[in-house]
Amino acid sequence: MANTALKAREKLPKSLTGIQGLDEITEGGLPKGRPTLVCGSAGCGKTLLAMEFLVRGATQFNEPGVFMAFEETAKDLTQNVASLGFDLDALVADKKIVLDFVYIERSEIEETGEYDLEGLFIRLGQSIDSIGAKRVVLDTIESLFAGLPNPLILRAELRRLFRWLKEKGVTAIITGERGEETLTRQGLEEYISDCVIVLDHRVKDQTSSRRLRVVKYRGSTHGTNEYPFLIDEDGISIVPVTSLGLGHNASMDRIPSGISRLDTMMGGKGFFRGSTVLISGTAGTGKSSICAHFVDAACRRGERALYFSFEESPSQIIRNMRSVGIDLEQWVKKGLLYFQATRPAFAGLEMQLTMMHKATIKFDPQVVIVDPLNGFITGDNIIDVKSMLLRLADFLKTKQISSMFTQLMSSNVAHGTSEIAISSMIDTWLVMHDIEISGERNRCLYITKSRGMAHSNQVRECLITDHGVELCEVYVGAGGVLTGSARIAQEAQELALTLTRKQEVERRQIEIESRRKALEAKVAALRAEFGVQEAELMKIITQEQAQASQLLTGRLEMGLSRSAD
């Protein structure tokens, strides 16, 4: 996105600063060959920004630079920026950077008539030519007004100086102290009008935040918002998060949640890669445990997970998760899991966002956990929190990072609302709440929404066992939804009933069998009786037949004996 913007605006040549985020806001850096005014109140990071511009120029873009300091000596400067990892001594020795401290002591100087600043020009010109500098920093040139008399001459000379810098073709940063009503105390913005950047350091609700704003940039479009920035061991980093659009690609890739039953509820495949998952629930419903499962599953796949904890320390999380059978320590040791634990009150919202942004870029994870979101809400800043989370979610989506946020709800709130109204930016929303019935509290989980996939509408009971979170079906019956021991009692009752029925069936089957046996016995007896009778009858028949034939034979014999004719 930033690249296309760069290509579209090649009309005005720009010089990349190399400062994280600034090049995106300015769409390619500061105006090349022109002076830029950086102003702000004391301690807002002007000198640092200017110095980083020079150092990055010298080390990354092969553009040597001259730093002309009016307030700090070269030694002080070198020491101050050493904490940011800049080795000025080495750069000076390599002829990449020239440090020139201009010392003005008002009491030593007497003005006796017309003068000009040719000496300054010569010195600067000499320094620029000695290393072929492309970048120049004048920090803080307004000190001249305190050191030299006759502001009228100074103004004319400064005007000439800026013109001269332009002729020299060097990209310059001129720093200025913030004035009462003007951007700078001496109104330098009148002379340097190509690009003006204002830095600000403010404290709100006892947390300080630094912000940067590009007030004007002649001949170029630029991000106009106030962007928070951080100064840490890597120098300055600015997060232009609000400039992100809705241009992210939607992945079809699915990643398991680490709880197989939960995956089953989402069509058996789990979340979409790069989606935003919100788990909201009342205290102690197992939100963090679900996060731990998700992290564990990601690390098992060899992916990297970044865990932002705002309530517990890393070791506490590891200990707690071990009690439910999830060993997160192994992933920390393998470098796949990184915990960043801070109190939300440690810094302002913008700073928290900046830090999360920075940590994400640095660790390059596939999975990010934010646990929990609630700590950010202090008083009436809900709108700010929402906007911050929206930007965070957008950023993670553009990076195709799957994220899981947890949110504590103070009570079982009505469906469709949440304490921080962020449901619109959430892709998959799991709600966990507890049901208190017959003297015990049980956890329930359901999917309120899950964009782009078929998902179960069933409430599941969530059991936290010593081998992780398990989901099981709740008892839904005439008596309502039952969970926990009520569910177990109901199930036992049902089991008993089933058993009784089964026994009854068995009893009847036995009866049938015995009846059948009785019948068969009777049939056998009858058959036996019939067999006896049959045998007897057959015997009689045979005898009868024998007698009849004997009678005939006897009659014939008798006839023969009578000699009948």
Partner 1 sequence: METKLTEPKEVYVLRLYVAGQTPKCMMAFVNLKKICEEHLAGKYQIEVIDLLENPMLASGDRILAIPTLVRKLPEPVRKIIGDLSNTERVLIGLDLKRIK
Please tell me what DSSP assigns to residue 453: S
* 12-20, 108-116, 469-477, 527-535 -> range binding partner 1 (CB under 8 A): 108-116
- Establish if 551 lies at the interface with partner 1 (CB under 8 A): no
Amino acid at 512: I
Residue 117 as a binder of partner 1 (CB under 8 A): the answer is: yes
Residue 357: C-alpha distances to residues 44, 139, 228, 304, 372 (Å) = 21, 30, 11, 16, 17
Q: Which member of 115, 164, 338, 363 binds partner 1 (CB under 8 A)?
A: 115
- Under the binding rule (CB under 8 A), the answer on residue 103 touching partner 1 is yes
Residue type, 496: A
Question: In whole angstroms, how close is the CB of 226 to partner 1 at the nearest point?
Answer: 36
Q: From the CB of residue 171, how many other CB atoms can be counted at a distance below 10 Å? A: 28
Q: How many CB atoms lie under 10 A from the CB of residue 91?
A: 21
Tokens of 228: 């928070």
CA–CA gap between residue 217 and residue 37 (Å, rounded): 10
Kindly state the number of chain residues that form the binding site for partner 1, as judged by CB under 8 A: 23
* Closest-CA residue to 14 (of 3, 5, 23, 2): 23
Please choose, out of 117-125, 418-426, 470-478, 490-498, the segment that lies near partner 1 by the rule CB under 8 A: 117-125
Report the nearest approach of partner 1 to the CB of residue 124 (Å): 9
- Our finding on whether 73 is near partner 1 (CB under 8 A) is no
Question: What is the rounded distance in angstroms from the CA atom of residue 487 to the CA atom of residue 473?
Answer: 10
Nearer to partner 1, 117 or 278 (CB): 117
Part in contact with partner 1 (CB under 8 A); list of ranges 96-104, 271-279, 280-288, 454-462: 96-104
Longest Cα separation, the chain: 204
Task: Please answer whether residues 257 and 269 qualify as being in contact, where contact means their C-beta atoms are separated by less than 8 angstroms.
Answer: no
Q: Which is nearer to partner 1, 131 or 148 (CB)?
A: 148
CB of 329 to partner 1, least distance (A): 59
Q: How far is the CB of 313 from partner 1 (least distance, A)?
A: 54
Question: Of 154 and 199, which has the nearer Cβ to partner 1?
Answer: 154
Question: Under the criterion CB under 8 A, does residue 114 sit at the interface with partner 1?
Answer: yes
Smallest distance from the beta carbon of 93 to partner 1, in angstroms?
18
- Window 118-137: residues binding partner 1 (CB under 8 A): 118-120, 122-123, 125-126
CA distances in angstroms from 85 to 48, 72, 81, 239, listed in the order given: 12, 19, 7, 21
CB-nearer residue toward partner 1: 123 or 155: 123
- Choice from 3, 4, 112, 563 touching partner 1 (CB under 8 A): 112
Q: Which is nearer to partner 1, 94 or 111 (CB)?
A: 111
Q: How would you class 89 by CB atoms within 10 Å of its CB: exposed for 0-12, middle for 13-18, buried for 19 or more?
A: middle
Site map 140..169 versus partner 1, x via CB under 8 A: ----x---x---------------------
Among the listed residues 76, 94, 116, 557, the single contact to partner 1 using CB under 8 A: 116
- Give least dist CB 149 to partner 1, A: 8
Radius of gyration from C-alpha coordinates of the chain = 45
SS (H, E, C) 460-529: EEEEEECCEEEEEECEEECCEEECHHHHHHHHHHHHHHHHHHHHHHHHHHHHHHHHHHHHHHHHHHHHHH
Using the Cα atoms of residue 289, residue 290, residue 294 and residue 296 in order, give the sign of their dihedral. Answer: positive
Q: Which is nearer to partner 1, 149 or 187 (CB)?
A: 149
Tokens (6 digits) for 383 = 């709108």
Which residue of 90, 104, 476, 538 would you call a contact of partner 1, by CB under 8 A?
104
Q: How far is the CB of 70 from partner 1 (least distance, A)?
A: 10
Give yes or no for a contact between 341 and 309, defined as CB atoms under 8 angstroms apart.
Answer: yes
Q: Which three-class secondary structure string do you get for 125-150? A: HHHHHHHCCCEEEEECCCHHHHHCCC
| Cα gap 182→258, rounded to integer Å | 58
The answer to whether 368 and 392 are in contact (CB under 8 A) is no
For residues 225 and 491, give the distance between their C-alpha atoms in angstroms, rounded to a whole number.
Answer: 61
Selected from 2, 5, 109, 476, the binder of partner 1 by CB under 8 A is: 109
Q: Is the peptide bond before 151 cis (omega within 30 degrees of 0)?
A: no
Nearer to partner 1, 61 or 101 (CB): 101
Closest approach, Cβ 187 to partner 1, in A, equals 21
Task: State the pairing for strand pair 271-272/254-255.
Answer: antiparallel
**Cβ distance to partner 1 smaller for residue 113 or 379:** 113
> Nearest approach, Cβ of 129 to partner 1 (angstroms)?
9
Among 4, 7, 62, 113, binds partner 1 (CB under 8 A): 113
Binding residue for partner 1, selected from 110, 181, 233, 565, defined by CB under 8 A: 110
Q: At its nearest, how many Å lie between partner 1 and the CB of residue 299?
A: 59
Nearest approach, Cβ of 98 to partner 1 (angstroms)? 11
Instruction: Note whether 491 and 475 are within 8 A (CB).
Output: yes
Which residue, 130 or 549, has its beta carbon nearer to partner 1?
A: 130
Stretch that binds partner 1, among 40-48, 114-122, 377-385, 417-425 (CB under 8 A): 114-122
Q: At closest approach, how far in Å is the CB of 186 from partner 1?
A: 16
Pick from 100, 88, 36: nearest CA to 58:
88
Q: Of 113 and 247, which CB lies nearer to partner 1 in the complex structure?
A: 113
Nearest to 451 by CA among 248, 258, 267: 267
User: Which is closer to partner 1, CB of 146 or CB of 476?
Assistant: 146
Please identify, using beta-carbon distances, which residue of 123 and 178 lies nearer to partner 1: 123
What lies within 8 Å, CB to CB, of 7 at 6+ separation is: none
Please report, as ranges, the residues that interact with partner 1 according to CB under 8 A.
100, 102-104, 108-120, 122-123, 125-126, 144, 148
